[in-house]
């Protein structure tokens, strides 16, 4: 059996693992990356990327039907070409996967295809298609990711009860879709399939959608999603899935028992770290429930073993995994480094988009920090008006005494892009006055960020807050 | 529902006859032990199309002039003060999906909240339609001059 020695071995080639590998190679290490499927992991293959490719198609189709006449373009019979949408999605994914493979090869990172498991803290066995090999490395980073959580109700194993992976590659746009869970994945798929013409029902256990996001913006998004025709039921408990019509979800709420029929039932109740089959249990690694426990240097309690990305729970975002991967690589190679989660942008690709960074008003109140809030609606932003996407607003949460920006939350056009200015402000401790007085190009969407910052200091120009009778 | 009407230039403003008013252009209508509150025709026309309505929650105790709602229009974010003190016992859920009701049916389906007044005599102290109409007209003429 082949046995090779490396400076660093990485188990899992997703955005955590492959970025750790590239960074470690930059720092001069001999690295082996072990991946059982395709590099890019969940993100590139069955997560972030394919969903955004389908999102682009769905949004274009929706705009062709809804916006085109107002903008002066006659598109009389826009139809969904699902095969081409799938091809666009796959081409995008394949191009990015090839790109990552090329980057790894250019940096001389060794890529072993196969399933890896720990034999000891510094030794891995990798079972490939044609051979089994072993690697010995003084430092190993675990980046095995997460998988969809199952729904523990009767009928959850019927065919047609799917996860987000299958939801990306359905044979056709479903006529009816039931989605269990109104977190990011559930809401993104709801928006996407509704835009493509499906009848969508979302069932959520909690009293709100998108727990953890700004409460006011989530409420407004809920209203906009309902206006788009998505049936969202909150405070419900799913009881069972039955095989009729072809699938029926039985659920209960305060008013009693109800049913929702669907061609498919998408279970989007959360994702769980993948540790089974990796031999991690033989190492005596400390766990945090089902996630691997690490400190801010991404170290586990086992000397020389690190963990990053979805397998450590936490944010479960690709860009966080990549940042953690770089920190782990640095620590593994003897440089000091700690992860900083203060300004992690969180994006929801709903229609319209929702994005946030830093503290919400609720977070600040819980931490007993005095705050001021500035808000500006896109209905008053010239650029948004010019392309007719005026739903939503920018909200800035600032420290009441220093005006330092603690958080930014955006609902509206390109929110996921606009949030970058907020992330920079939060990370660098910029105050609202500076953002408000920074010259922002006109006409652009970021002017809404500028005006929200001006609202914090009472200097908003392009909108008024009027108290009647005053 | 019967209305009084007045006009300033080409704008026609209606005032519901059996309702009560204050000088903030907010109406109140007694429904048994409760008082329903909303915007007058003059205020909804002045403020523009309502895009989003933020109502205070059921259970909120309001003093006179405390904020009971904020309405987002294209032009302004309008803070609506309570015309009389009381506790919010009902809110108009229809406005979540149809904020435009505040413009299209401000005295009817576009109502904002219902309160249990702290003191029902406060309701009687509000202006009746005939008294309110000329005061509102004067404000409307002032708006036109701006």
Assigned token pair, B75: 């032009």
Please choose, from the candidates A333, A327, A341, the residue with its C-alpha nearest in 3D space to the C-alpha of residue A297: A327
User: How far off is chain A from B98, nearest CA to CA, in Å?
Assistant: 9
User: How far off is chain A from B52, nearest CA to CA, in Å?
Assistant: 8
Assigned token pair, A303: 């000397």
Q: What is the pLDDT of residue A328?
A: 98
CA–CA separation, A355 vs A347, rounded Å? 4
CA–CA separation, A268 vs A204, rounded Å? 10
Catalytic residues of A: 442
Question: What's the residue count for chain B?
Answer: 146
Q: Across the interface, do A469 and B52 touch by the CB < 8 Å criterion?
A: no
Assigned token pair, B73: 């229009």
A-chain residues near B45 (CB < 8 A): none
A-chain residues near B77 (CB < 8 A): 375, 377, 463-466
Domain-located, residue A156: no
What's the 3-state SS for A405-426?
EEEEEEEECCHHHHHHHHHHHH
Residues in Cβ contact with B2 at an 8 Å cutoff, skipping those fewer than 6 apart:
B16, B17, B18
Q: What is the pLDDT of residue A292?
A: 97
Domain-located, residue B144: no
Q: What is the pLDDT of residue A310?
A: 98
Domain that holds residue B42: 25-138
Domain-located, residue A467: no
Question: Mean pLDDT across the stretch B68-95?
Answer: 92
A340: left (phi over 0), alpha (psi -120 to 50) or beta: beta
Residue A274 has pLDDT above 70, yes or no: yes
Please choose, from the candidates A426, A262, A245, the residue with its C-alpha nearest in 3D space to the C-alpha of residue A341: A426
Please, which residues 46-105 of chain B have a Cβ atom closer than 8 Å to chain A?
Answer: 47, 51-52, 54, 65, 67, 72-81, 96-97
Assigned token pair, A72: 């002066």
Cis before A38 (ω within 30): no
Please, which residues 392-421 of chain A have a Cβ atom closer than 8 Å to chain B?
Answer: 393
Task: Confirm whether the ipTM is greater than 0.95.
Answer: no
Q: What is the pLDDT of residue A160?
A: 95
For residue B146, name the pLDDT band (cuts at 50, 70, 90).
confident
Assigned token pair, A391: 């739903």
Number of Cβ pairs closer than 8 Å across A and B?
A: 56
Q: What is the pLDDT of residue B145?
A: 80
B-chain residues near A470 (CB < 8 A): 24
Q: Total structural domains in chain A?
A: 3
Question: Mean pLDDT across the stretch A228-236?
Answer: 96
Q: Residues of chain A with pLDDT > 90: what percent?
A: 96
Q: Across the interface, do A216 and B54 touch by the CB < 8 Å criterion?
A: yes
Q: How many other β-carbons are positioned within 10 Å of the β-carbon of residue A422?
A: 29
Question: Mean pLDDT across the stretch A272-284?
Answer: 94
Determine contact, residues A160/A263, Cβ cutoff 8 Å: yes
CA–CA separation, A134 vs A3, rounded Å? 5
pLDDT tens string A287-308: 999 999 999 999 999 999 999 9
Question: Mean pLDDT across the stretch A108-133?
Answer: 96
CA–CA separation, A124 vs A119, rounded Å? 5
Q: Residues of chain A with pLDDT > 70: what percent?
A: 100
Same domain, residue pair A434 and A287: no
Same domain, residue pair A282 and A429: no
Same domain, residue pair A73 and A120: yes
CA distances from A327 to A308, A332, A343, A367, A444 (A): 9, 8, 16, 28, 35
Mean pLDDT over each residue of chain A, to the nearest integer: 96
A19: left (phi over 0), alpha (psi -120 to 50) or beta: alpha
Question: Mean pLDDT across the stretch B88-96?
Answer: 93
Chain A residue with CA closest to B139: the answer is A469
Q: What DSSP designation does A40 have?
A: T
Same domain, residue pair A86 and A10: yes
Determine contact, residues A346/A353, Cβ cutoff 8 Å: no
For chain B, the maximum distance between any two Cα atoms, rounded to a whole number of angstroms, is 42
Question: What's the residue count for chain A?
Answer: 470
Choose, out of B39, B40, B52, B70, the residue to mutate when testing the contact with A (most A CBs < 10 Å): B52
pLDDT tens string B12-47: 999 999 999 999 999 999 999 999 999 999 999 988
Determine contact, residues A380/A185, Cβ cutoff 8 Å: no
B-chain residues near A380 (CB < 8 A): 74-75
User: How far off is chain B from A391, nearest CA to CA, in Å?
Assistant: 8
For residue B75, name the pLDDT band (cuts at 50, 70, 90).
confident
Q: What is the pLDDT of residue A75?
A: 92
Q: Across the interface, do A379 and B43 touch by the CB < 8 Å criterion?
A: no
The beta-carbon neighbor of B78 closest among A216, A377, A468 is: A468
A-chain residues near B25 (CB < 8 A): 468-469
Domain-located, residue A367: yes
Q: What DSSP designation does A149 have?
A: P
User: Is any Cβ of chain B less than 8 angstroms from the Cβ of A334?
Assistant: no
Assigned token pair, A117: 């498991």
CA–CA separation, A130 vs A127, rounded Å? 8
A-chain residues near B54 (CB < 8 A): 216
Determine contact, residues A169/A85, Cβ cutoff 8 Å: no
Same domain, residue pair A248 and A380: no
Same domain, residue pair A234 and A360: no
Determine contact, residues A81/A64, Cβ cutoff 8 Å: no
Same domain, residue pair A139 and A168: no
Assigned token pair, A86: 């799938």
Same domain, residue pair A114 and A176: no
Domain-located, residue B19: no
User: How far off is chain B from A190, nearest CA to CA, in Å?
Assistant: 18
Radius of gyration of chain B (CA): 14
The beta-carbon neighbor of B78 closest among A226, A393, A466 is: A466
Domain-located, residue A133: yes
Assigned token pair, A147: 């998988």
The beta-carbon neighbor of B24 closest among A377, A379, A468 is: A468
User: Is any Cβ of chain B less than 8 angstroms from the Cβ of A223?
Assistant: yes
Query: Going edge to edge, which strands form the sheet with B86-91?
Result: B61-62, B86-91, B113-117, B34-39, B26-31, B20-21, B127-128
CATH of the domain at A414: 3.30.390.30
CATH of the domain at A288: 3.50.50.60
Same domain, residue pair A102 and A202: no
Same domain, residue pair A86 and A108: yes
Q: What is the pLDDT of residue A470?
A: 60
Residue by residue, DSSP assigns A323-362 as HHHHHHHHHHTT-------TT--EEE--SSEEEEEE--HH
Please choose, from the candidates A340, A339, A319, A315, the residue with its C-alpha nearest in 3D space to the C-alpha of residue A329: A339
Residues in Cβ contact with B65 at an 8 Å cutoff, skipping those fewer than 6 apart:
A469, B81, B82
Please, which residues 104-143 of chain B have a Cβ atom closer than 8 Å to chain A?
Answer: none
CA–CA separation, B26 vs B123, rounded Å? 12
User: How far off is chain A from B50, nearest CA to CA, in Å?
Assistant: 11
CA–CA separation, B21 vs B38, rounded Å? 10
Question: Mean pLDDT across the stretch A417-441?
Answer: 98
Assigned token pair, A291: 């996630």
Domain-located, residue A338: no
Q: Total structural domains in chain B?
A: 1
The beta-carbon neighbor of B72 closest among A226, A377, A470 is: A377
Same domain, residue pair A49 and A137: yes
Question: Mean pLDDT across the stretch B43-58?
Answer: 90
Query: Could you say which of A269, A302, A318 is where a domain stops?
Result: A269
Query: Going edge to edge, which strands form the sheet with A161-162?
Result: A161-162, A264-267, A176-180, A199-203, A231-233
Query: Could you say which of A239, A269, A299 is where a domain stops?
Result: A269
Same domain, residue pair A413 and A304: no
Three-state DSSP class for A305? strand
Determine contact, residues B40/B146, Cβ cutoff 8 Å: no
CATH of the domain at B84: 2.40.50.100
Residue A224 has pLDDT above 90, yes or no: yes
User: Is any Cβ of chain B less than 8 angstroms from the Cβ of A234?
Assistant: no
pLDDT tens string A161-199: 999 999 999 999 999 999 999 999 999 999 999 999 999
B-chain residues near A469 (CB < 8 A): 22-26, 65, 81
**Residue carrying structure tokens 């998408």:** A266
CA–CA separation, B58 vs B87, rounded Å? 8
Assigned token pair, A256: 């009693």
Please compute, for residue A30, the number of CA atoms within 13 A of its CA located in the half-sphere on the CB side: 8
Domain-located, residue B113: yes
Q: What is the pLDDT of residue B76?
A: 82
Domain that holds residue A325: 2-147+272-332
Q: What is the pLDDT of residue B1?
A: 85
């Amino acid at each position: 059996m082949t046995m090779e020695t490396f400076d660093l071995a990485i188990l899992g080639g997703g955005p955590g693992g492959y970025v750790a590998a590239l960074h470690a190679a930059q720092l001069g290490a001999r690295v082996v990356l072990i991946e059982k499927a395709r590099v890019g992991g969940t993100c590139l293959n069955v997560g972030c990327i394919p969903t955004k490719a389908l999102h682009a198609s769905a949004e274009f189709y929706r705009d062709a039907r809804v916006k085109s006449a107002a903008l002066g373009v006659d598109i009389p019979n826009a139809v969904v070409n699902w095969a081409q949408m799938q091809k666009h999605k796959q081409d995008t994914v394949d191009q990015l996967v090839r790109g990552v493979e090329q980057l790894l090869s250019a940096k001389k990172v060794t890529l072993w295809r196969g399933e890896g498991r720990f034999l000891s803290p510094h030794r891995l066995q990798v079972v490939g298609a044609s051979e089994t090999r072993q690697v010995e490395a003084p430092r190993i980073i675990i980046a095995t990711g997460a998988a969809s959580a199952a729904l523990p109700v009767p009928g959850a194993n019927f065919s047609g009860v799917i996860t987000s992976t299958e939801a990306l590659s359905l044979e056709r746009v479903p006529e009816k879709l039931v989605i269990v869970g109104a977190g990011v994945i559930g809401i993104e798929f709801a928006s996407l399939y509704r835009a493509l013409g499906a009848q969508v029902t979302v069932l959520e256990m909690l009293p709100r959608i998108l727990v953890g996001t700004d409460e006011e913006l989530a409420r407004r998004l809920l209203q906009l999603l309902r206006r788009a025709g998505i049936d969202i039921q909150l405070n419900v408990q799913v009881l069972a899935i039955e095989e009729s019509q072809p699938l029926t979800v039985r659920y209960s709420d305060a008013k009693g028992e109800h049913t929702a029929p669907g061609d498919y039932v998408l279970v989007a109740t959360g994702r769980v770290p993948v540790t089974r089959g990796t031999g991690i249990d033989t190492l005596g690694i400390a766990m945090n429930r089902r996630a691997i426990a690490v400190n801010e240097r991404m170290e586990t309690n086992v000397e020389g073993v690190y963990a990053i990305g979805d397998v450590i729970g936490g944010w479960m975002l690709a860009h966080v995994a990549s940042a953690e991967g770089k920190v782990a690589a640095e620590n593994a190679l003897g440089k000091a480094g700690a992860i900083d989660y203060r300004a992690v942008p969180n994006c929801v690709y709903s229609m319209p988009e929702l994005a946030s960074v830093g503290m919400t008003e609720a977070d600040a109140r819980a931490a007993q920090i005095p705050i001021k809030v500035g808000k500006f609606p896109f209905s008053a932003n010239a650029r948004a008006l010019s392309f007719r996407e005026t739903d939503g607003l920018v909200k800035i949460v600032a420290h009441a005494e220093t005006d330092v920006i603690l958080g930014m939350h955006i609902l509206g056009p390109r929110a996921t892009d606009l949030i970058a200015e907020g992330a920079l402000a939060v990370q660098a401790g910029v105050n609202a006055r500076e953002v408000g007085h920074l010259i922002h190009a006109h006409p652009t969407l970021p002017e809404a960020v500028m005006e929200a910052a001006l609202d914090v200091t009472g200097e908003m120009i392009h909108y008024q807050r009027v108290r009647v009778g005053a | 529902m019967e209305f009084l009407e007045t006009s300033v230039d080409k704008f026609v403003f209606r005032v519901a006859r059996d309702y009560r008013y204050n000088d903030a252009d907010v109406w109140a209508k007694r429904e048994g032990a409760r008082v329903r509150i909303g915007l007058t025709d003059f205020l909804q026309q002045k403020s523009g199309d309502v895009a989003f309505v933020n109502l205070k929650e059921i259970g909120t105790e309001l003093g006179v002039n405390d904020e009971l709602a904020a309405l987002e229009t294209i032009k302004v974010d309008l803070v609506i003060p309570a015309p009389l003190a009381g506790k919010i016992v009902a809110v108009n859920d229809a406005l979540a999906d149809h904020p435009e009701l505040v413009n299209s049916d401000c005295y009817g389906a576009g109502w904002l909240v219902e309160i249990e007044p702290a003191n029902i005599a406060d309701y009687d102290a509000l202006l009746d339609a005939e008294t309110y109409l000329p005061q509102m007209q004067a404000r409307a003429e002032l708006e036109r001059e701006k």
